Each structure stands twice: as structure tokens, then as C-alpha cells.
Amino acid sequence: MKYIIPIIMFSLVLSTCAKKDEAEENTTNSSLTCTGTSSGSGPTFGSVTLEEATYLSTCYGGSKIQLAFKNNSSAQYTSYAYGDSSCSGTPSESGFCLESITVSSTTVTKPVYYVDNNTAGDNVTGLATTGTGKHNSSTLYMSIYAESASVFWLEQASDQDTLDSNSVYLYKFTKQ
């Protein structure tokens, strides 16, 4: 039950980004794509700087997330929704440009969640992070723990209170 809230919030974040009629999509398509200039690296979390690369998450609740860092403050955010909880088959896809990624000094200590055996692991300490949807100026609230330059953990929500109530880092991302 404690993992239902993050899934619902994830769905709400995506629905604000993905629900567009055809005419609106034609006029805002450029606002869904990140076009930032390269800085050579992604954002820095403590002593770990993520690479300017594409990272794909593990499957959780029938969804995966892809973050393609374009520089240290923007990433192309793509969500893949599958028809089953094992993320098999062909997913439906939606995405947007996440800009103004800001890493704060506020620490967030929670366990990581291992999907394969449905257990919480050791506590890790990440940093509170926010980003803004280029297409609608909505804020995505995140906690990110960078394990290395090629692996990080993320939890996310559309508001800070919901993020604070999340009990684990749900998604493990690996550089592709």
C-alpha cells in the first residue's frame, strides 16, 4: 500500500504532461524537447557527477523512466507505460523536457527498493532536487541518490508533501 501513492503521483505528473489534443501538440511539440547546449556532464549530487548520457530505470509497477541528461541542468524525461507489471511488450511512451534541474543541499535519507525481491535495502542519503517542465512550467520534486557516475536512484512526486511521505527510493537508473 505504501508504494501506491508514488505510483499515483507519478501518473498525475505524467497526465499533466501527456494529455494534449492534436492541435495543442502541434504547437507545443518544440517545448517538449530539450535543446540545451552541452556542458559535458549531468548534474552533481554530493561528490558524484552524473554523465551527460541516457539513463534507464528498472521496472516498477509496469513503468520505466528514461532520463537523458543534455547538460547539468536539463534532461529529456520519457515515461514508458507497459500493459503488465513486468514491463514486457510494447509500451506507450510520453515525454517532456525537464529544465532548470536544481540540486539543493537538503539531504534525504531513505532505503532503496529492490523490485526483484520486493524488499527495502539499506538506507542511503541523496539530495532534494527539483526540475521544471519546459512545456507547462510545472515542478517535479525529486530525491536523488547517486551511487556512481553511471548509477543513481530516484523518487519523485508532483508536490513536496507527497515526496516527503514516500518511504523509499523506487527507481534505480543505469547508464545506457
Give me the half-sphere count of Cα atoms (radius 13 Å) on the Cβ side of residue 14.
20
Task: Single out the residue of 149, 139, 143 nearest to residue 129, CA to CA.
Answer: 143
Confidence grade of residue 142 (pLDDT, cut at 50, 70, 90): very high
pLDDT at 116: 86
Q: How many angstroms separate the Cα of 164 from the Cα of each of 3, 51, 119, 143?
A: 13, 27, 20, 9
* Confidence grade of residue 38 (pLDDT, cut at 50, 70, 90): confident
Q: Which of 38-47, 75-84, 99-108 is least confident?
A: 38-47
Q: What percent of the chain has pLDDT over 70?
A: 82
14 has pLDDT over 70: no
**Span 26-44, average pLDDT:** 77
Specify the pLDDT at position 25.
45
Q: Which residue has the higher pLDDT, 107 or 37?
A: 107
Mean pLDDT of the 69-75 span: 95
Residue with cell 534505480: 172
- Average pLDDT score over residue span 78-90: 96
> What is the Cα–Cα distance from 137 to 31, expressed in whole angstroms?
10
Q: What is the mean pLDDT of the chain?
A: 87
Average pLDDT over residues 51-74: 96
For position 26, what pLDDT does the model report? Answer: 41
CA–CA–CA angle 85, 125, 48 (5° rounding): 95
Q: Is the pLDDT of residue 47 over 90?
A: yes
pLDDT one-digit tens code per residue, 116-136? 889 999 999 999 999 999 999
**AA letter at 25:** E
| Residue 19 in this model has a pLDDT that exceeds 80 | no
State the pLDDT at residue 31: 82
Parallel/antiparallel/unpaired status of strands 171-175 and 151-157: antiparallel
- Which amino acid type is present at position 22? E
User: What's the pLDDT score for residue 113?
Assistant: 95
Query: Which H helix or E strand runs over 52?
Result: none
